[in-house]
């Protein structure tokens, strides 16, 4: 995926600001004896806040900005002066971003709406100045509160695309062709497996100016849950879809079996996917005549609505859209995407390379020599320039 800039996983390190210390100060002025305590409060440290942005489509910008620090609050000072609050930092994320603790894998929060703000780390509160502690019994408090410390956390952001319909099928089933026939999306189409390497979204227009979003994800093969093919990591993009559209090509040997295999792989990934509404489409039906179609129809799995389609001739596409729209607007399915629980990440099993930052090359080590290291008979006078070796310049990116 070298030429891809679709990033759906990124690990970042965040730190909120620490609170400013309260001041311990006494009023001093000419002719004002015993001016009393007047130390002001420290300012609040900055928060780290996530903000949903539906214009963003990948987590790529975060990959180049993986250390996020909010500003510290300033200390209070005499004359009841408050310290300035630290600056908050906003991290813009695409809608559908889920946040996990990188150390424990625990689910922390998610951002689903455009403009939605979620406070990821709270800034430390500022300490109270000694002015706050004066009382009838202690008129000269000689203490003030320190500010609260900053909170530091490494988090994993995962993007789970928000779509209404998710396409599921073996490689070459015709998923991308269907998406390009139904929407303005132009995914790459070719007759070899794994043409699609990253998820694609398309907006499918339906009658009366209504529309829904369809997601095309890379093909799944038997054993994907054990890492075969591109594995199952793209399946998280259909976790929140209301409906799953299974695509099995008409020239498959056993359509029912292929459907079964796909189901099992999905279940391995997340059993909750089994609760979703499913629709089965037999793609490439332009290759079938009526007789064959009737024959295949008998072998199709029961309990799932099916439709014969062809993205090339347009056969069955209207019927397919009707079925999908019916399923999307069904109240039972509406609830499903919201009810999905984001299971904790298994941080030990994450692909290491996803964590490695492209510019994380170590600094070249420079050795320093002491004069003594050369021993006593070292004499600069005997130095011959012809001993000099030409050293190539060190380039960390090349090694």
Site for ligand GTP, rule CB under 6 A = 169, 171-177, 189-191, 193-196, 218-219, 283-284, 286-287, 310-312
195 is a site residue for Mg ion (CB under 5 A): yes
Report in angstroms how near the CB of residue 172 gets to ligand GTP at its nearest: 4
Query: From the list Mg ion, ligand GTP, none, which binds 256 (C-beta under 5 to 8 Å, kind-based)?
Result: none
Stretch that binds Mg ion, among 68-76, 195-203, 293-301, 369-377 (CB under 5 A): 195-203
Query: From the list Mg ion, ligand GTP, none, which binds 283 (C-beta under 5 to 8 Å, kind-based)?
Result: ligand GTP
Report in angstroms how near the CB of residue 195 gets to Mg ion at its nearest: 5
Of the candidates 48, 230, 270, 18, the one whose C-alpha atom is nearest the C-alpha of residue 157 is 48
For Mg ion, which is the closer residue by CB, 99 or 230? 230
Report in angstroms how near the CB of residue 196 gets to Mg ion at its nearest: 3
Report in angstroms how near the CB of residue 178 gets to Mg ion at its nearest: 9
Report in angstroms how near the CB of residue 200 gets to ligand GTP at its nearest: 9
For ligand GTP, which is the closer residue by CB, 177 or 183? 177
Query: From the list ligand GTP, Mg ion, none, which binds 132 (C-beta under 5 to 8 Å, kind-based)?
Result: none
Stretch that binds Mg ion, among 109-117, 187-195, 273-281, 294-302 (CB under 5 A): 187-195
Which of 196, 241, 283, 333 is close enough to bind Mg ion by CB under 5 A? 196
176 is a site residue for Mg ion (CB under 5 A): yes
For ligand GTP, which is the closer residue by CB, 68 or 288? 288
Query: From the list ligand GTP, Mg ion, none, which binds 72 (C-beta under 5 to 8 Å, kind-based)?
Result: none
For ligand GTP, which is the closer residue by CB, 23 or 310? 310
Query: From the list Mg ion, ligand GTP, none, which binds 173 (C-beta under 5 to 8 Å, kind-based)?
Result: ligand GTP
Stretch that binds Mg ion, among 6-14, 25-33, 77-85, 176-184 (CB under 5 A): 176-184
Q: Which residues pair with 154 in a beta bridge?
A: 13
Question: Contact residues for Mg ion (CB under 5 A)?
Answer: 176, 195-196
């Amino acid at each position: 995926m070298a030429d891809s800039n679709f990033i759906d996983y990124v690990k970042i390190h965040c730190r909120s600001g620490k609170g400013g210390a309260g001041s311990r100060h006494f009023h001093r002025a000419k002719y004002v004896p015993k001016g009393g305590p007047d130390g002001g409060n420290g300012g609040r440290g900055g928060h780290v806040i996530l903000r949903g942005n539906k214009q963003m489509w990948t987590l790529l910008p975060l990959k180049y900005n993986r250390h996020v620090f909010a500003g510290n609050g300033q200390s209070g000072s005499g004359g009841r002066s408050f310290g300035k609050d630290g600056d908050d930092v906003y991290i813009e994320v695409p809608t559908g971003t889920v946040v996990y603790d990188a150390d424990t894998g625990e689910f922390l929060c998610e951002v689903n709406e455009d403009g939605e703000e979620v406070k990821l780390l709270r800034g430390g509160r500022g300490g109270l100045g000694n002015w706050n502690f004066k009382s009838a019994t202690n008129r000269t408090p000689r203490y003030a509160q320190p500010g609260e410390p900053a909170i530091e956390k490494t988090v994993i952001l995962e993007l789970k695309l928000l779509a209404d319909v998710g396409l599921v099928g073996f490689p070459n089933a015709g998923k991308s062709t269907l998406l390009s026939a139904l929407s303005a999306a132009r995914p790459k189409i070719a007759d070899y497996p794994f043409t699609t390497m990253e998820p694609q979204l398309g907006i499918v227009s339906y009658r009366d100016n209504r529309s829904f979003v369809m997601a095309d994800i890379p093909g799944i093969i038997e054993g994907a849950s054990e890492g075969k093919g591109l594995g199952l990591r793209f399946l998280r993009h259909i976790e929140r879809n209301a409906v799953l559209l299974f695509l099995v090509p008409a020239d498959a040997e056993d359509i029912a079996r292929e459907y079964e295999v796909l189901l099992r792989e999905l279940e391995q990934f997340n059993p909750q996917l089994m609760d979703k509404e499913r629709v089965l489409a037999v793609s490439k039906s332009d290759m079938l005549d009526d007789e064959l179609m009737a024959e295949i129809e008998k072998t199709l799995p029961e309990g799932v609505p099916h439709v014969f389609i062809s993205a090339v001739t347009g056969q069955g596409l209207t019927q397919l859209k009707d079925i999908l729209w019916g399923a999307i607007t069904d109240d039972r399915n509406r609830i499903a995407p919201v009810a999905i629980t984001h299971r904790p990440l298994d941080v030990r099993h994450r692909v290491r390379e996803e964590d490695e930052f492209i510019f994380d090359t170590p600094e070249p080590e420079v050795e320093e020599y002491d004069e003594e290291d050369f021993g006593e008979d070292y004499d600069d006078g005997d130095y011959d320039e012809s001993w000099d070796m030409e050293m190539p310049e060190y380039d960390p990116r090349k090694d």
